[in-house]
Amino acid sequence: MKRIAIDMDEVIADAMSKYLRLYNEGFQEQLTAADLHGVKLRALRPERSDDIHEIFMTNDFFRDLEVMPHSQEVIRELSESYEIFITTAAMEVPTSFNAKYAWLKEHFPFLSDMNFVFCGDKSIIRADYLIDDNAKHFERFEGQGLLFTSPHNILETGYVRVNNWLEVRDFFAKALNM
């Protein structure tokens, strides 16, 4: 059975909406996802880089994120034909483990928690596919990377891109028929 590794933030969990809301509340701005077209917030506001990083560092930031549309149903379908692993670079925010684990258990109870991988460098993941919003994780990954569209990666080229979970479903439906 082939294996799919799936990133959490901005792929199955909508971290961007909460991130922007908290940033805008904290700094009295009105930034939208469109303002992050091709750039991360820390690059857009480098003078606030440390403060921006602190937004993520709370113990519960990741606990109440919205689920990306259709991710639950598509991942459930894919789990019938593929091994599914959720692979999150949690070491970038070490305080996130408990909140991310609880979020995954709540929203993806059909996946075994033995298939949750909390890591840093995703090149250690042995999978046939990696769905991620950060192209850096494809650099040393040995399988097929699928770049999940997010405002910050919209200018990235050279990768197979999926814009939403319905496109992920279509990609794997074609892969199964090959």
132 catalytic residue (yes or no):
no
pTM above 0.85, yes or no: yes
Per-residue confidence (pLDDT) for residue 91, from 0 to 100: 85
- Where does the pLDDT of residue 21 fall: very low under 50, low under 70, confident under 90, or very high at 90 and above? very high
Quick check: 25 pLDDT over 80? yes
Tell me, yes or no, whether 21 lies in a domain.
no
Quick check: 106 pLDDT over 70? yes
Task: Report d(CA 61, CA 95) in Å as an integer.
Answer: 9
Tell me, yes or no, whether 19 lies in a domain.
no
* CATH code, domain carrying 114: 3.40.50.1000
Tell me, yes or no, whether 36 lies in a domain.
no
- Using one digit for the tens of pLDDT, what is the confidence trace for 50-65? 988 888 888 899 999 9
Instruction: Identify the CA nearest to 159 among candidates 178, 170, 176, 143.
Output: 143
Quick check: 86 pLDDT over 70? yes
**Per DSSP, what are the bridge partners of residue 116?**
86
Tell me, yes or no, whether 142 lies in a domain.
yes
Tell me, yes or no, whether 82 lies in a domain.
yes
Per-residue confidence (pLDDT) for residue 59, from 0 to 100: 85
Per-residue confidence (pLDDT) for residue 3, from 0 to 100: 97
Question: Residue 102: how many CB atoms within 10 A of its CB?
Answer: 14
For residues 174 and 71, the model is more confident at 71
* 145: alpha, beta or left? (left if phi > 0; alpha if psi -120 to 50): beta
Residue 136: its H or E element: none
9 catalytic residue (yes or no):
yes
Tell me, yes or no, whether 161 lies in a domain.
yes
Task: Report d(CA 112, CA 110) in Å as an integer.
Answer: 7
Both tokens assigned to 151: 């405002």
Task: Domain of residue 87: give its range.
Answer: 3-14+63-177
State the total domains in the chain.
1
Tell me, yes or no, whether 111 lies in a domain.
yes
Select which of 9, 35, 128, 133 is catalytic: 9
- Using one digit for the tens of pLDDT, what is the confidence trace for 115-151? 999 998 898 999 999 999 999 999 999 999 999 999 9
Both tokens assigned to 173: 């439906």
Tell me, yes or no, whether 38 lies in a domain.
no
Per-residue confidence (pLDDT) for residue 136, from 0 to 100: 94
- Where does the pLDDT of residue 92 fall: very low under 50, low under 70, confident under 90, or very high at 90 and above? confident
Per-residue confidence (pLDDT) for residue 93, from 0 to 100: 86
- Using one digit for the tens of pLDDT, what is the confidence trace for 33-45? 999 999 999 999 9
- To the nearest whole number, what is the mean pLDDT of the chain? 94
